[in-house]
Structure 1
Amino acid sequence: MIFSRVLIIKKYVNHPLKGINLLFSAYNVKKCGEIMPLAFESVNHGQVAFGFFNIDTDMLLLEQYFFFATEFCTLVGELARVSDPHIFVDRMEGYQISERELIGDLMGAIYGIRYTGFIGEVYKLYPFPKMPEAFKQQPEGYKNRKTIEYIIKEFGNQIDIEFIATTRAGNVKIGEYEFSRLQFLELVRYVWQGGYPGWRDEVRPEYVMRMKKEIEESRSGFFNGIIF
């Protein structure tokens, strides 16, 4: 059964550059009982969209930024290995699509009625599953990386996305978006869970398991309180 839940985000309506949130015409699409991606709180931009957008790729979106979960988990693991740094600075490879029309219509792609922009091209290759029980994040999604990179280069620019963590303030910046420590831990938990369809059969990619291990072994207090 397909249904939707309206989540009004008034501040995003008619905003010309507010990225992925506008793709939903101010609401998130709910199908098969789950939402992808989700709205998360940030320090400097209010609610922002973050998450997986197709179950057959491990690419994540953060508003106009797109990057692979492999890169995200690697950076989180590196942060966990550093013992209480005052500041942790790194970059991860990714892409930026500044025009929302080029990002595409996620709702239309999920329903198979409108394939536009980058997301539309991805769903042409990897359509939404017909059976609700098949709506699970695929742990083999990383194997499609070359295909996804080939597609996104048609719509966006390849960039290095700055990643900065300040342990005293407890904040993390990913590109232009800043999160409190607890807000950032929610992003980490989301990836661990495989979004909110969840990983298929609870099977996680090796890079996700490695991230969890590095967090659990971390001597830094930065990850205190995270629950897997």
Structure 2
Amino acid sequence: MNEHLAPVTYLRDARRAGTSTEGDVRRDGLREHPSARRTSSPPVEQAVGATARGDDGDDARSDERTGKRASNVSMHQLARRGMSRWELEQVLAKREIDPAIAEAELDRLESVGLLDDAALAVTLVYTQHTRKGLGRTAIAQELKRRHIDPDIIEDALAEIADDDELERATELAVKRIGQMSSYDDDTVKRRLNGFLARKGYSSGVVRQAMDAAFASRGKRGVRFQ
């Protein structure tokens, strides 16, 4: 009795026909399940990702260049003369340095002691008083012009003792009165008073300095009320 056998479908035939029931047939004759196939990112997504990474890198390099420029500008300015934080901030703003980067550079300079409003104030008090002969009022105005904190100004001005201020004012008055020997006393008084007042001395210091100046000229007994 003849047995009827089911028709055989060879693997290569199934591969050609695309009729695999469990998945594709690999070259070695084994079937591969569809879930095992690897997928790649769509070209558009790859392009977007690459662009985003490139933008971040460009931004980082740009910030680094700006930071170096801010540092170079700052060091150049501080090498020329002492500056307050506000003054240097204005310079960086004029150079169109990004405010956030400028702020970071100012903080860095303060942290290493290259930018110090308190030290600058003391230096200015000394130079303005000793070399230029300015009184407390004029010095305070100069420090305010440079936007130094009022508390710092007050502490710096305390470096000038009352006796030192009177002594400096008297030196200026004596020198000045020696240049006005041809004028009468009233004219000398008016001009000397205006000169010392412009130097920033208080009215009390001005009166004492003028008394000493007239005394040095042989006009003892003359006092100004």
The two structures share one fold, judged by TM-score above 0.5: no
Larger Rg: 2
- What is the TM-score of this pair, normalised by structure 1? 0.19
By relative contact order (CA 8 Å, sep 6+), the higher-ranking structure is 1
- What is the TM-score of this pair, normalised by structure 2? 0.19
Structure 1 or 2: larger strand share? 1
